[in-house]
Amino acid sequence: MAAIFEGSGVALVTPFQNGKVDTEAIKRLVEMQINAGTQAIIACGTTGEPATMTPDERELVIRTVCETANGRISVIAGTGTNSTQSVISAAKRYEGLGCAAQLVVTPYYNKTNTEGLYRHYMTIAENTELPIVIYNVPSRTGIDLQPGMLARLAKCGKFVGVKESSYDLPTVMEKAAVMKDTQVAMYSGNDDMNYPLLSLGARGVVSVAANFIPGKVAEMVDSFLQGRTREALEMQLKLMPVNRALFYEVNPIPCKAAMEILGLCGGELRLPLYQISGENRAKLVDALGGLGLL
Protein backbone atom coordinates (compact mmCIF):
# COMPACT_ATOMS: atom_id res chain seq x y z
CA MET A 1 0.00 0.00 0.00
CA ALA A 2 1.31 3.45 -0.91
CA ALA A 3 1.86 5.90 1.93
CA ILE A 4 -0.93 8.39 2.60
CA PHE A 5 1.64 11.05 1.76
CA GLU A 6 5.37 11.55 1.44
CA GLY A 7 7.01 14.86 2.23
CA SER A 8 5.83 17.78 4.33
CA GLY A 9 2.47 17.73 6.05
CA VAL A 10 1.12 20.64 8.09
CA ALA A 11 -0.75 20.44 11.38
CA LEU A 12 -3.06 23.29 10.41
CA VAL A 13 -4.14 25.92 12.94
CA THR A 14 -7.82 26.82 13.12
CA PRO A 15 -8.28 30.56 12.56
CA PHE A 16 -10.98 32.19 14.68
CA GLN A 17 -12.55 35.61 14.25
CA ASN A 18 -14.77 37.08 16.95
CA GLY A 19 -15.22 33.68 18.51
CA LYS A 20 -16.21 31.88 15.31
CA VAL A 21 -14.33 29.64 12.88
CA ASP A 22 -12.91 31.85 10.12
CA THR A 23 -13.62 29.77 7.02
CA GLU A 24 -12.30 32.41 4.62
CA ALA A 25 -8.94 32.36 6.39
CA ILE A 26 -8.91 28.55 6.24
CA LYS A 27 -9.39 28.69 2.47
CA ARG A 28 -6.48 31.11 2.09
CA LEU A 29 -4.24 28.93 4.25
CA VAL A 30 -5.09 25.78 2.29
CA GLU A 31 -4.22 27.50 -1.00
CA MET A 32 -0.96 28.77 0.49
CA GLN A 33 -0.01 25.26 1.60
CA ILE A 34 -0.75 23.73 -1.78
CA ASN A 35 1.21 26.41 -3.61
CA ALA A 36 4.18 25.94 -1.27
CA GLY A 37 4.53 22.22 -1.95
CA THR A 38 2.93 20.80 1.19
CA GLN A 39 1.77 17.22 0.62
CA ALA A 40 -0.85 16.81 3.36
CA ILE A 41 -3.00 18.93 5.63
CA ILE A 42 -3.99 17.65 9.05
CA ALA A 43 -7.23 19.41 9.95
CA CYS A 44 -8.37 19.50 13.58
CA GLY A 45 -5.25 17.84 14.86
CA THR A 46 -4.26 19.07 18.31
CA THR A 47 -2.66 22.20 16.80
CA GLY A 48 -6.11 23.03 15.43
CA GLU A 49 -7.60 23.30 18.95
CA PRO A 50 -10.35 20.69 18.43
CA ALA A 51 -10.82 20.23 22.18
CA THR A 52 -12.30 23.73 22.34
CA MET A 53 -14.65 23.30 19.38
CA THR A 54 -18.12 21.81 19.07
CA PRO A 55 -18.66 18.76 16.82
CA ASP A 56 -20.33 21.02 14.25
CA GLU A 57 -17.37 23.41 14.27
CA ARG A 58 -14.91 20.59 13.78
CA GLU A 59 -16.93 19.26 10.86
CA LEU A 60 -17.07 22.77 9.38
CA VAL A 61 -13.27 23.04 9.53
CA ILE A 62 -12.69 19.65 7.93
CA ARG A 63 -15.37 20.19 5.30
CA THR A 64 -13.88 23.59 4.39
CA VAL A 65 -10.37 22.15 4.09
CA CYS A 66 -11.56 19.21 1.96
CA GLU A 67 -13.69 21.37 -0.34
CA THR A 68 -10.89 23.88 -0.83
CA ALA A 69 -8.27 21.20 -1.40
CA ASN A 70 -10.58 19.48 -3.89
CA GLY A 71 -8.36 16.43 -4.19
CA ARG A 72 -5.16 18.38 -4.84
CA ILE A 73 -3.62 17.41 -1.51
CA SER A 74 -4.21 14.70 1.08
CA VAL A 75 -6.43 15.78 3.99
CA ILE A 76 -6.18 13.92 7.28
CA ALA A 77 -8.93 14.59 9.82
CA GLY A 78 -8.15 14.67 13.51
CA THR A 79 -10.65 12.42 15.27
CA GLY A 80 -8.69 11.40 18.35
CA THR A 81 -9.87 11.92 21.89
CA ASN A 82 -9.88 9.95 25.14
CA SER A 83 -13.28 8.41 24.38
CA THR A 84 -13.32 5.52 21.92
CA GLN A 85 -16.95 6.08 21.00
CA SER A 86 -16.39 9.79 20.42
CA VAL A 87 -13.59 8.98 17.96
CA ILE A 88 -15.90 6.62 16.08
CA SER A 89 -18.72 9.17 15.99
CA ALA A 90 -16.39 11.88 14.67
CA ALA A 91 -14.89 9.63 12.02
CA LYS A 92 -18.34 8.68 10.74
CA ARG A 93 -19.19 12.38 10.32
CA TYR A 94 -16.14 12.88 8.12
CA GLU A 95 -16.29 9.76 5.98
CA GLY A 96 -18.03 11.42 3.04
CA LEU A 97 -16.03 14.66 3.02
CA GLY A 98 -12.99 13.51 1.03
CA CYS A 99 -10.48 12.77 3.79
CA ALA A 100 -7.62 10.41 3.02
CA ALA A 101 -7.27 9.23 6.63
CA GLN A 102 -7.94 10.06 10.26
CA LEU A 103 -5.39 11.00 12.93
CA VAL A 104 -6.08 9.27 16.26
CA VAL A 105 -4.08 10.35 19.29
CA THR A 106 -3.40 7.89 22.11
CA PRO A 107 -5.94 8.36 24.93
CA TYR A 108 -5.04 10.96 27.55
CA TYR A 109 -6.02 11.61 31.18
CA ASN A 110 -8.00 8.36 31.55
CA LYS A 111 -4.85 6.54 30.52
CA THR A 112 -5.44 2.90 29.82
CA ASN A 113 -3.36 -0.26 30.15
CA THR A 114 -1.74 -2.16 27.29
CA GLU A 115 -4.77 -4.25 26.40
CA GLY A 116 -7.08 -1.25 26.69
CA LEU A 117 -4.93 0.70 24.25
CA TYR A 118 -5.01 -2.18 21.77
CA ARG A 119 -8.78 -2.53 22.06
CA HIS A 120 -9.25 1.25 21.75
CA TYR A 121 -7.48 1.30 18.40
CA MET A 122 -8.93 -1.95 17.11
CA THR A 123 -12.48 -0.92 18.01
CA ILE A 124 -11.99 2.28 16.01
CA ALA A 125 -10.53 0.30 13.11
CA GLU A 126 -13.45 -2.12 13.11
CA ASN A 127 -16.13 0.58 13.25
CA THR A 128 -14.86 3.31 10.92
CA GLU A 129 -13.96 3.49 7.23
CA LEU A 130 -11.09 5.98 7.19
CA PRO A 131 -7.53 4.59 7.41
CA ILE A 132 -5.84 5.41 10.70
CA VAL A 133 -2.67 7.37 11.45
CA ILE A 134 -1.75 6.83 15.10
CA TYR A 135 -0.54 9.92 16.96
CA ASN A 136 2.02 9.13 19.66
CA VAL A 137 2.79 12.19 21.80
CA PRO A 138 3.73 10.97 25.30
CA SER A 139 4.60 14.46 26.61
CA ARG A 140 0.94 15.44 26.23
CA THR A 141 -0.87 12.14 26.87
CA GLY A 142 1.30 10.25 29.34
CA ILE A 143 1.21 7.14 27.13
CA ASP A 144 4.11 6.09 24.92
CA LEU A 145 3.09 3.65 22.19
CA GLN A 146 5.56 0.77 22.42
CA PRO A 147 7.08 -1.23 19.54
CA GLY A 148 5.26 -4.40 20.57
CA MET A 149 1.89 -2.66 20.46
CA LEU A 150 2.71 -1.19 17.08
CA ALA A 151 3.58 -4.65 15.79
CA ARG A 152 0.18 -5.95 16.93
CA LEU A 153 -1.72 -3.08 15.33
CA ALA A 154 0.27 -3.27 12.09
CA LYS A 155 -1.30 -6.67 11.40
CA CYS A 156 -4.57 -4.83 10.72
CA GLY A 157 -4.54 -3.14 7.33
CA LYS A 158 -6.44 -0.10 8.59
CA PHE A 159 -3.34 1.37 10.24
CA VAL A 160 -1.31 3.30 7.67
CA GLY A 161 0.91 5.62 9.68
CA VAL A 162 2.32 6.80 12.99
CA LYS A 163 2.87 10.45 13.77
CA GLU A 164 5.78 9.99 16.15
CA SER A 165 6.38 12.76 18.71
CA SER A 166 8.56 10.91 21.19
CA TYR A 167 12.08 12.05 22.05
CA ASP A 168 13.07 8.51 23.07
CA LEU A 169 15.21 7.79 20.02
CA PRO A 170 16.22 4.23 20.96
CA THR A 171 12.55 3.23 21.23
CA VAL A 172 11.72 5.12 18.03
CA MET A 173 14.45 3.09 16.31
CA GLU A 174 12.73 -0.09 17.48
CA LYS A 175 9.45 1.18 16.04
CA ALA A 176 11.17 1.99 12.75
CA ALA A 177 12.33 -1.63 12.61
CA VAL A 178 8.77 -2.84 13.26
CA MET A 179 7.34 -0.63 10.49
CA LYS A 180 10.00 -1.47 7.93
CA ASP A 181 8.14 -4.33 6.27
CA THR A 182 4.55 -3.16 6.92
CA GLN A 183 2.11 -0.72 5.34
CA VAL A 184 2.56 1.61 8.34
CA ALA A 185 4.58 4.75 7.53
CA MET A 186 6.38 6.80 10.14
CA TYR A 187 6.04 10.60 10.19
CA SER A 188 7.96 12.99 12.42
CA GLY A 189 5.61 14.89 14.71
CA ASN A 190 8.16 17.30 16.21
CA ASP A 191 9.79 19.98 14.06
CA ASP A 192 13.02 19.80 16.06
CA MET A 193 13.21 16.05 15.39
CA ASN A 194 12.44 16.07 11.68
CA TYR A 195 15.94 15.31 10.46
CA PRO A 196 16.64 12.50 12.97
CA LEU A 197 13.34 10.75 12.17
CA LEU A 198 13.84 11.11 8.43
CA SER A 199 17.21 9.45 9.01
CA LEU A 200 15.36 6.55 10.66
CA GLY A 201 13.13 6.08 7.65
CA ALA A 202 10.24 8.48 8.19
CA ARG A 203 8.28 9.11 4.99
CA GLY A 204 7.62 12.71 5.90
CA VAL A 205 6.74 15.13 8.68
CA VAL A 206 3.69 16.66 10.30
CA SER A 207 4.91 20.17 10.99
CA VAL A 208 3.68 23.08 13.09
CA ALA A 209 6.24 25.46 11.59
CA ALA A 210 4.86 24.71 8.13
CA ASN A 211 1.84 26.82 9.05
CA PHE A 212 3.90 29.94 8.25
CA ILE A 213 7.05 28.63 6.49
CA PRO A 214 5.54 25.84 4.38
CA GLY A 215 8.01 26.24 1.54
CA LYS A 216 11.06 26.02 3.79
CA VAL A 217 9.81 22.89 5.55
CA ALA A 218 8.82 21.25 2.26
CA GLU A 219 12.21 22.06 0.75
CA MET A 220 14.05 20.54 3.71
CA VAL A 221 12.02 17.32 3.66
CA ASP A 222 12.14 16.98 -0.13
CA SER A 223 15.90 17.51 -0.11
CA PHE A 224 16.31 14.65 2.34
CA LEU A 225 13.97 12.31 0.47
CA GLN A 226 15.80 13.06 -2.78
CA GLY A 227 19.13 12.08 -1.24
CA ARG A 228 20.52 15.56 -0.59
CA THR A 229 20.94 14.80 3.08
CA ARG A 230 23.72 17.28 3.83
CA GLU A 231 21.68 20.08 2.30
CA ALA A 232 18.65 18.97 4.32
CA LEU A 233 20.68 19.00 7.53
CA GLU A 234 21.86 22.55 6.88
CA MET A 235 18.25 23.61 6.33
CA GLN A 236 17.12 21.87 9.52
CA LEU A 237 19.80 23.66 11.53
CA LYS A 238 18.72 27.03 10.11
CA LEU A 239 15.12 26.32 11.14
CA MET A 240 15.99 25.29 14.70
CA PRO A 241 15.59 28.75 16.33
CA VAL A 242 12.02 28.95 15.01
CA ASN A 243 11.35 25.32 15.93
CA ARG A 244 12.45 26.08 19.48
CA ALA A 245 10.45 29.31 19.66
CA LEU A 246 7.26 27.47 18.77
CA PHE A 247 7.42 25.64 22.08
CA TYR A 248 8.34 28.46 24.45
CA GLU A 249 4.67 28.14 25.41
CA VAL A 250 2.06 25.46 24.81
CA ASN A 251 1.34 24.78 21.14
CA PRO A 252 -0.36 26.45 19.25
CA ILE A 253 0.05 29.69 21.22
CA PRO A 254 3.40 30.70 19.64
CA CYS A 255 2.37 29.41 16.21
CA LYS A 256 -0.76 31.54 16.14
CA ALA A 257 1.27 34.53 17.31
CA ALA A 258 3.66 33.96 14.41
CA MET A 259 0.75 33.70 11.98
CA GLU A 260 -0.60 37.02 13.22
CA ILE A 261 2.82 38.74 13.16
CA LEU A 262 3.29 37.62 9.54
CA GLY A 263 -0.22 38.69 8.53
CA LEU A 264 -1.39 35.19 7.55
CA CYS A 265 -4.42 35.04 9.85
CA GLY A 266 -5.64 36.34 13.18
CA GLY A 267 -3.99 35.09 16.34
CA GLU A 268 -7.22 34.52 18.25
CA LEU A 269 -7.17 31.55 20.63
CA ARG A 270 -9.83 29.85 22.71
CA LEU A 271 -9.55 29.55 26.47
CA PRO A 272 -7.87 28.04 28.32
CA LEU A 273 -5.19 28.96 25.73
CA TYR A 274 -4.19 32.60 26.03
CA GLN A 275 -2.01 35.02 24.11
CA ILE A 276 1.75 34.63 24.27
CA SER A 277 3.67 36.57 26.93
CA GLY A 278 5.54 39.71 25.94
CA GLU A 279 8.91 38.12 26.69
CA ASN A 280 8.25 35.06 24.55
CA ARG A 281 6.72 37.13 21.78
CA ALA A 282 9.97 39.09 21.59
CA LYS A 283 11.95 35.83 21.33
CA LEU A 284 9.60 34.63 18.61
CA VAL A 285 10.06 37.86 16.66
CA ASP A 286 13.84 37.44 16.90
CA ALA A 287 13.58 33.89 15.55
CA LEU A 288 11.35 34.99 12.68
CA GLY A 289 13.72 37.82 11.89
CA GLY A 290 16.64 35.39 11.85
CA LEU A 291 14.97 33.58 8.96
CA GLY A 292 14.49 36.83 7.09
CA LEU A 293 10.71 36.74 7.51
CA LEU A 294 10.46 40.24 8.99
| Burial category of 241 from C-beta neighbours within 10 Å (exposed 0-12, middle 13-18, buried 19 and up) | middle
Q: CA–CA separation, 104 vs 79, rounded Å?
A: 6
CA-based nearest residue to 203, from 178, 185, 223, 184: 185
Give which of 166, 94, 164, 163 is closest to 124, Cα–Cα: 94
Beta bridge partners of 99: none
- What is the CA angle 140-146-147, rounded to 5? 140
Catalytic residues: 135, 163
Q: How far apart are CA 187 and CA 74, in angstroms?
A: 14
